[in-house]
Chain A
Amino acid sequence: MRRLGEKIALLVLLLCAHPAFGQNTEQNEMRDTLEKATISALQSDTRKHNTTQTGLIRLNPEFLKSSAAVFGAPDLIKSLQMLPGVAAGNELMSGMYVHGGDGTDNLFLLDGVPIYNISHFGGLFSSFNTDVVNSLDFYKSGFPARYGGRASSVVDVSTKEGDLQRFHGSISIGIADGRVQLEGPIVKGKTTFNFGYRRSWLDLITRVGLSIANKGSSNKVDAYSFMQDLNAGITHNFSDRSKLRANFYWGNDKLKAGLTSADAVSLALNIKWGNMLASAAWDYRFSKNISSTLTGYYSKSDSDIGYDVSLSQYVMADDIISDIKDLGLKYDFSWFPHEKHHIRFGAEAKHKWYDFKGFQSGNGSNIRMEAGNEMALYAEDEMFLLSSLTLNAGLRYSLIATGSKLWHSIEPRAALKWRFSNNYDIRASYTRMSQNEHLIASSYIDLPTSCWMPSNEEIHPVISDQVAGGIYMRPVKNLRLNLEGWYKTMDHLLSYKGANSLFPPVANWEGNFSEGKGKSYGMEAEIGWDAENFTITAYYTLSWTLRLFNEMYPGWFYDRNDNRHKVNLLGTYRVGKFEFTANWTWHSGNRITLPSNVLDDGTVLYDKPFNSSLPVYHRLDLGINYKDTFRNNSHFTINLSVYNAYNRKNAYFAYLTPSSGGKAQGTAYSVIPIIPTLSLAYDF
């Protein structure tokens, strides 16, 4: 069965590269696109709809809002997790394991600025407020040369610029959070703003509950946690050639737990973590054919874990503090020198700081501070070679300087599209990506105890090479059929090998990680039907993900997120003022490491990592939106969402229990039950 699947994946790759699919050509597509792109060079790159790249999925805010509303809050990462080629890792967390990646290798850009901490509440919510999102480009393969710095995927999120003519906004209240979004003109037709803020309020519930529980007790317990984030942007149009955009993002999480007793004993744990991004981008069109964007930015992600213990006259307090900061400048050009060429080129330079201060123990130093400089140059040309043949060829060069070490990386990128009729095209791509930064974490849980560190004399940047190919069809007006395959290798991957602890030893982290390789291959299929009142899409992924870490095991072994099969069904049906949504997901269970052997005295032995799997995972999410419009054209939406509608007990973790019969028996625990939520939104 496994061999058959491997053969199918290989066949898809070969099929995609075979030139016999050419039939009719579409002469006007390139010219139309070129004209549109030239005319509206400062607005949007319309050619993304007709991309040459493989592995690109563009999501719009409506899709994000209509899917995966856990706790009534639409979530960008949860939406991406449903897509083919993406493994989600632990349920309800913000894990994204793209084409066999390790989850730390996704480049998240918010208005072109890298963002490092992508989730709130340890992964329950993503850091992206969907109310302010304008568009999202998600690349799994076929990365254009303008992107770099991560090995597995690119998530490029752009926020709204704000309405130049009319003031409007929305207010949303869910069971877990509240959101407000406002946009409108500051100077009509010239200057506009966009603002979004959201905050969770689970802490209000816990605080009320605890104040009741504390009443009359000499011991006072205090515990709460909340998250909040704010997006703000101002855009000013100097002329039809010149525009300045300023964006700001700030988000943080706070968790506090404390105990105060009557006999002067107090314990307190304070954790906070978050991001702050600020950027200014100046778009300028030199001529009909050349435009540019100059961007300056600052990005900071930090965390602080503090404790304070008072025992009589003894007081102990300390903090773990870590942060990563980027100060960067980039200049991107878009040039149409000829009707058959669209050249993009640019440069980026940034200075980076990586700081960590851990709990002090003994006389040992537990501080690590690094700084580095990164520089990248890129050029790519989208060439319309024939009326039916498009090639996007590019090269990216990056230079990384950390301490006394210099790392160079030359990354070729190529994507080819052959459109052999209006509705059929085949594409193939090859890309090399490098990643200089490594997440120092001792567990798979998204915790503020982890931090980023750069490559250095001992640690090589991660390098990934990927070939991908696919067939993209619209055989009839409403039907979408896509089939894509990939083969990817990854070198210099890291895996934690240190002692078990929630606090990874950052000060001397190099010795606590094994270096290894990875490979992943598979195929993805998409079939969808778009009608006036309903849309239905089915995704299927067949994939293999393997690792080779000689320190752990002397051979290839399957990775934790090697989900052999994954199926997603998404449906939306609109009738009158109602919209019904349903998402069903099914995938092979995540792999786990169970004892491989047992001795006569009951001693268990471990051998091959990830040698077993959890039971298959599946769940159904349902949603109903009721939308009504007031006379002043404002409208409200009532949303009822049910996560895990049939209360499937999906295994979150498992272990092996000895059985009297000698046969292995696994015991699994599920932790996420059915979760119904209600939310209200008012748009004005």
Chain B
Amino acid sequence: MKKYLTLIAAALLLISACEFDFTPKIDSGPKLFVKCVAMNDSICAQVKYAAPSSDAQKIQNVSAAHLELAVNGQTFSIDLDDNGTGTAIKQVKEGDLISINAGMTGLNDVYGYTGMPGLPEISDVKVENNVLIDSISYTVLHLKTDRKPDPDDYYAVHIIEERTMTFPDTLIVDTTFVRAMIQSGDDGVPEFASLNDNNGLFPFIKAPVILFPASAFKHNECALSLLSFGFIFPDMTLRSRYKLLVSKVSEEFYLYSMSLYKSSGDILATLGLAPPQFAWSNIEGGLGFCGALATIETDWYE
């Protein structure tokens, strides 16, 4: 009986599952892709040729592209390497307006701007360890500020974990947790993005990062939970300590990061069964983003 059922199921699968190729007509053209991230002491920029996906052969070298940056209207040029990337050493302070202008023969000039946020005011970090069940634990990091953050602020927190296990030898492992989450906010859990690496957003470090709005703070405290898997054996000692890179990011930085986060792995949208993926952009005439972040590094906490 089982054999017949298997045969029937296989026959049904053969009839129904059908993959075929087609040539889509895509409404798109070549554009400049610009990524500009301003930090307290430097501005990183990247210019790329974004070929239409209907004909990726048309990718062109961007060495001929020109790029102009400005801080509060004072312009300066930046040299791009072969990858179209360049860094300008420049002190940027809270409230400064950073703008970018780029162009390339045959393509539209593109333009974008952002405002520099102030440094985050983290006064204390408390670590709370919990065990959920045998192999699953979660750690809560309580971030405290001196005053309630401005509702229009956005944050990015890189979490660097150093886990020391002694069983029977000492082993040090970095960042074992699988996902960082926001626990609560003034009006419930706000929308946040949890990325296991940078997605190329942050020029200075590769580590798990969580982005969230100021509404994740309940009064002046924000609780981040880190979910970890790992067996704890009877003779084993385990010690974790954490260091955070806390950034206040511009709204443009936050919106672009969130759109990348939402579109990554959105299977339903990829299959056309959910609203479409889109990358937020503040680059007029092109693609990409211009954003800013101000970062502080905390001590180690355990």
B is bound to A:
yes
Residues of A within 8 A of B (CB): 90, 209, 212-213, 311, 314, 361-366, 442-445, 495-500, 502, 505, 507-508, 511-512, 551-553, 560, 590, 592-600, 604-615, 647, 649, 651, 653-656, 658, 661-674
Q: Assuming the A-B contacts A364-B189, A606-B279, are A444 and B25 also in contact, with contact meaning beta carbons closer than 8 angstroms in the complex?
A: no
Decide if A662 touches B273 in the complex (CB within 8 Å).
Answer: no
A19 to B32, CA, bound (A): 54
Decide if A594 touches B53 in the complex (CB within 8 Å).
Answer: yes
Decide if B57 touches A661 in the complex (CB within 8 Å).
Answer: yes
Decide if B33 touches A599 in the complex (CB within 8 Å).
Answer: yes
Which of A497, A606, A667 lies in contact with B21, CB distance below 8 A? A667
Which of B31, B225, B275, B276 lies in contact with A597, CB distance below 8 A? B31
Instruction: Tell me how many residues of B have a C-beta within 8 Å of chain A.
Output: 67
Q: Assuming the A-B contacts A443-B274, A662-B55, are A670 and B18 also in contact, with contact meaning beta carbons closer than 8 angstroms in the complex?
A: yes
Q: Which of B158-208 contact A (CB under 8 A)?
A: 181-185, 187-191, 193
Decide if A664 touches B133 in the complex (CB within 8 Å).
Answer: no
CB distance from B252 to the nearest CB of A (A): 13
Which of A597, A654, A669 lies in contact with B50, CB distance below 8 A? A597
Decide if B272 touches A663 in the complex (CB within 8 Å).
Answer: no
Decide if B188 touches A365 in the complex (CB within 8 Å).
Answer: yes
Chain A contacts for B280, CB-based, 8 A: 551
- What are 9 sample pairs from A and B whose C-beta atoms fall under 8 A apart? A212-B1, A362-B181, A362-B225, A500-B265, A512-B191, A560-B272, A560-B276, A664-B53, A666-B23
CB distance from B49 to the nearest CB of A (A): 7
Chain A contacts for B279, CB-based, 8 A: 605-607
Interface residue? B75 (CB, 8 A): no
Chain B contacts for A647, CB-based, 8 A: 15
Most buried by B among A495, A590, A667: A667
CB distance from B22 to the nearest CB of A (A): 5
Decide if B274 touches A362 in the complex (CB within 8 Å).
Answer: no
Chain B contacts for A502, CB-based, 8 A: 268
Which of A365, A600, A607, A664 lies in contact with B54, CB distance below 8 A? A664
Residue of B whose beta carbon sits closest to that of A665 = B21
Decide if B189 touches A362 in the complex (CB within 8 Å).
Answer: yes
Decide if B17 touches A595 in the complex (CB within 8 Å).
Answer: no
Chain B contacts for A653, CB-based, 8 A: 271-273
Chain B contacts for A593, CB-based, 8 A: 269, 272, 276-278
CB distance from B7 to the nearest CB of A (A): 13
Interface residue? B48 (CB, 8 A): yes
Q: Which of B257-276 contact A (CB under 8 A)?
A: 261-263, 265-276
Chain A contacts for B15, CB-based, 8 A: 647, 673-674
Residue of B whose beta carbon sits closest to that of A593 = B276
Most buried by A among B22, B52, B184, B278: B278
Residue of B whose beta carbon sits closest to that of A656 = B53
Chain B contacts for A608, CB-based, 8 A: 27-28
Chain A contacts for B5, CB-based, 8 A: 209, 212-213
Which of B1, B52, B191, B270 lies in contact with A655, CB distance below 8 A? B270
Decide if A213 touches B2 in the complex (CB within 8 Å).
Answer: yes
Residue of A whose beta carbon sits closest to that of B284 = A554
Decide if A500 touches B267 in the complex (CB within 8 Å).
Answer: yes
Decide if B25 touches A613 in the complex (CB within 8 Å).
Answer: yes
Which of A90, A495, A611, A664 lies in contact with B55, CB distance below 8 A? A664
CB distance from A490 to the nearest CB of B (A): 16
Q: Assuming the A-B contacts A598-B59, A612-B24, A654-B24, are A498 and B188 also in contact, with contact meaning beta carbons closer than 8 angstroms in the complex?
A: no
Chain B contacts for A611, CB-based, 8 A: 26-28
Which of B24, B55, B183, B190 lies in contact with A666, CB distance below 8 A? B24
Which of B1, B24, B48, B133 lies in contact with A613, CB distance below 8 A? B24
CB distance from A370 to the nearest CB of B (A): 15
Chain A contacts for B17, CB-based, 8 A: 669, 671
Residue of B whose beta carbon sits closest to that of A361 = B189
